[in-house]
Structure 1
Amino acid sequence: MDSDKMFHPSLSEALMKLDPEDGGKMMEYFQTHALLAREKAFLQASVREQKKLLVENGKLKKDIEELRDELRDKQRRRVAKALLSPNKSVGSAASPAAALPTPSADLKGGRKVTNGQKEDKKAALGATPTFDVSRLDLRVGRIVSVRRHPLATNLTVQDVDVGEKAPRPVVSKRWPDDLQPLTGSLAVLLCNVKACKVKGVASNARLLRCFRADGPVELLALPSGSNPGDRVTFLNYPGEPERELKAAQRVWDRVQPGLRVDGEGVANYKGCGFQVKGKGVCGAPSLTNCTIGCT
């Protein structure tokens, strides 16, 4: 059987409409996977051949998953761009956004559409990106050392162990007690921000602290038994974080206002606690009703 006939034509058309650039490549992956499955039926039932086929299928499955994630990311970026530029043409006639009304159709009875109607429009675009704490890679880290930034008196550089082969350098705002007292302390780090240089010094994560605008600043307190590399998760917001936050989507800026320490001293996102699975929740050593941010 010809590999092109293994799939219904509508599947190929749908993939090409979803992404004209990568739809063909996705179809090739599907066809290759189908051919491998077909060949498997004719292989002799030897242990060595079966193991070899399983390894090949595993690699192919991983490639397909990565391509699917890439297609989703592209779709998210396109949707975000369309939402931020409502007066510009969005996609081609084959695009899902082409079915949306023009800006003049956003008026109803001489009045602008409501927020609810705008949300309906976003839903019509398909994969509307979500902006919540599940997209952040928050991990427990231990501060190995702290030193002053060589070029900025208001900054410090921490080397933080987050369970990887080497500590991550983190540049943060300097506070009066930022040096020796912090060495050896546990902290919560935002680890999937893009690595950058701050006044010439590399910074590969951000340090979370709780603070008031006119008051003291504290590291978040971790539950007993927490270890470097432990994930900080949220019961009401499951899912795996992104490999790297997209700067253009400003995910951190959208999520940060929901990060707070409540009246009981518990760190939470919109009422859902910072949790180290099996060990407990994070909090503030002494502050209550305050902000959590990266400083």
Structure 2
Amino acid sequence: MPPGGYAWWYVDGVSDDGRHGLTVIAFLGSVFSPYYAWSGRADPLNHSAVNVVLYGRPGAWAMTERPRGSVARDATSLAIGPSSLHWDGTTLTIRVAEVTSPLPSRLSGTIRVRPAGITPGPFTLDAEGRHRWWPLSPASRIEVAFDRPSLRWSGDAYFDTNDGDVPLEDSFRSWTWSRSTLKRGAAILYDVERRDGSRQDLSLRFDPDGTPQPIEPPVPARLPPTLWRLPRATRSDDGAASVLRRFEDAPFYSRSLLSARICGEAVRPVHEALDLDRFTNPLVRLMLPFRMPRAPR
């Protein structure tokens, strides 16, 4: 991994009853780490973390950054501190052992992601080919079993990986992204505004086995700004969408559960909006350590 580079593995899921949600991101070269930025980004592995967020009741947030001595990896496994991910060919098993922030409490449990199928390969997000996105399994099932807090549920899930050779903010101004579970497969809408002013708008439908099919981009749909006044938008068949639930609301980032119509179906997309100009604001970076502590070793 080159200096300034990064890689992450991402899972999100929503329970079948809609009461609970979850996001897990394992970072090497944590792209949102102020410590990585302040270090000059010479050593990506020295800035690694497992971010775990539980939405609903009980909710929880954990994202402790760890140095390279806390990282172990091989072709099928990745461990960062006490948490780990393992792929056995059919199931991704995530074992969580973290401490929440800013109020410390134990967060421990096991998450199993079972993909219906694996997609054929990655997409390039920038013209130079320095950022790659691979939606490994847009249509998955997830089983969540936590001891601390006591929590068990199952639902639909999504699994992807990203990697890049330079910081995100060098190449992009912003993006909006959403994934929707369909009756058969899933749909992903990914609208990227590049730093040079050009755009890449991906509208994709995936069969249950992971086969991708480009679709005509749905109509732009407005969404209200977040509590931090972050602009956001999405797409839908009829140009209408609404926010059902706010998952995360930060100065530069939001995650929400929407209601919309995509590919002719009424769906509940998981949606994110990211503003990298806001992220690079020095004041915003000074705020991040309150939610993202760094372990000494």
Q: Shorter chain as normaliser: what TM range?
A: under 0.3
Normalised TM-score (structure 1) = 0.22
Structure having the higher helix fraction is: 1
Q: Which has more radius of gyration? A: 1
Q: TM-score, normalised by structure 2?
A: 0.22
Give the structure with the larger strand fraction.
Answer: 2
